Amino acid sequence: MLQVQMLREDKDRILTGLEKRNLPDAAAKIDEVVALDDRRKELQTQNDNLLAERNQLSREIGDLFKSGQKEAAGSLRDRVNVIKDESAAIETALTEVLTELDEQLLQLPNVPHALVPAGSSAEDNEVYQDHPGELPTPGTGAKPHWELAEEYGIFSLELGVRTTGSGFPVFTGQGARLQRALVNFFLDRNTAAGYTEYAPPLLVNEDTARATGQLPDKEGQMYYVPEDDLYLIPTAEVPLTNLYRGELLEADQLPVRLTGYTPCFRREAGSYGSHVRGLNRVHQFDKVEIVQITTPEESYTKLDEMVAHVGGLLDELNLPYRILRLCGGDMGFTSAMTFDFEVWSAAQERWLEVSSVSNFETFQSNRLKLRYRTERGTQLAHTLNGSALALPRIIAALLENNQAEDGILLPEVLHSYIGKARLERIK
């Protein structure tokens, strides 16, 4: 959530940034927020003055009673009762203004960093780091991962339909083992890089989802349990970042590094077509997440560090990838800058997104009330997160890019995790 003070003091920069998101009527929205905050200040001043007058009158009433001037004291008491009524009315108006101010702020997206390119869709994203050299091409008879899954017993979409519905794959046999191997590999690399591992809950309350920006922006994409008023998490970022909600950290505690493996749940409403076949887009999938909490001065250095870390994981898996810097129109509501990683799918002959690494600056921490102490007082921390990594499209690319006559060859780094060098066809 944007800070009102920032909207007041840095309006031109904010408008320039929001233009990259193609936000309609941005200036009017900011003016409305500032006007609401002016009204808040006015009401707060009126109420403070009334309360100060009441306190003064209360002292005078006490003195009058002590000196036997009951009639004069009664007159002042009548004024105190009027003040109480006036103050109650102002407090009601103040609550209404604060609620409206909060709702208006919740509708404003984060301001893109100056380096974020303008644009309206994925076609306008910037290739930040391209894959060097020639991309691998599929050999004769190369198959997409959904066909390989049947030959090798990797996963079944039909079993998922039987138990739940479409978009819920069931991993079986060596496919389940491959998924477990990847989770352990990612977690081991993350913890070796200084991230502390957590196993967070898979359901969160409304305050938690609102604090990291999933609500109200992505309400339609989240699974909701009305009986308990809880949401299934779309990513481990949500519970992990909220572990520090309301915290006041010391500067020497930063950066905080967290990682966690969870299933993730997304409705993906409106996703149809050949580009979402197989594991390309599903409603439940496994993902390992990394989160950092740091200072404003260090956050973009940490963003670079996280991008390099995710790239290192893909290098170890021998997966060709490229990195995109997302344009304002394709960037998430809460992000100030996002880098997407895409791996090359040889059989599908297209790029598949497998990770997003983002800096939210103070957007999440303002909602979280997550601060740290400095010599100049307390200030909001910066939060960052990234996928390290999401499994479905990683598995799709591993299957498609490494298919051979004698099986699917596994990258060497996974041999010790899965206990073999290749996946074999089932008989």
Separation of alpha carbons 204 and 231, rounded Å: 5
For residue 289, say whether it is annotated as part of any ligand binding site: yes
For residue 259, say whether it is annotated as part of any ligand binding site: no
For residue 356, say whether it is annotated as part of any ligand binding site: yes
For residue 376, say whether it is annotated as part of any ligand binding site: no
Buried b (16+ CB within 10 A) or exposed e, 303-331: bebbbebbbebbeebebbbbbbbbbbbbb
The bridge status of strand 407-409 relative to strand 371-374 is unpaired
- And the tokens for 202? 């898979």
For residue 53, say whether it is annotated as part of any ligand binding site: no
For residue 75, say whether it is annotated as part of any ligand binding site: no
For residue 42, say whether it is annotated as part of any ligand binding site: no
Separation of alpha carbons 326 and 358, rounded Å: 10
3-state DSSP helix/strand/coil percent for the chain, to nearest 5?
45, 20, 35
CB 381 within 8 A of CB 361: no
For residue 295, say whether it is annotated as part of any ligand binding site: no
For residue 276, say whether it is annotated as part of any ligand binding site: no
For residue 354, say whether it is annotated as part of any ligand binding site: yes
For residue 163, say whether it is annotated as part of any ligand binding site: no
Q: Which amino acid is at 113?
A: H
DSSP state string for 57-80: HHHHHHHHHHTT-HHHHHHHHHHH
Report helix, strand or coil for 170. strand
For residue 285, say whether it is annotated as part of any ligand binding site: yes
For residue 151, say whether it is annotated as part of any ligand binding site: no
Give start and end residues of each alpha helix (H) in 67-172: 70-106, 145-152, 157-163
DSSP state string for 245-281: TT-EEEGGGPSEEEEEEEEEE---TT--SGGGTTTTS
Radius of gyration of the chain (CA): 27
Separation of alpha carbons 330 and 22, rounded Å: 10
For residue 266, say whether it is annotated as part of any ligand binding site: yes
Specify binding-site residues for ATP: 266-268, 282-285, 353-356
Specify binding-site residues for L-serine: 235, 266, 289, 385
Specify binding-site residues: 235, 266-268, 282-285, 289, 353-356, 385
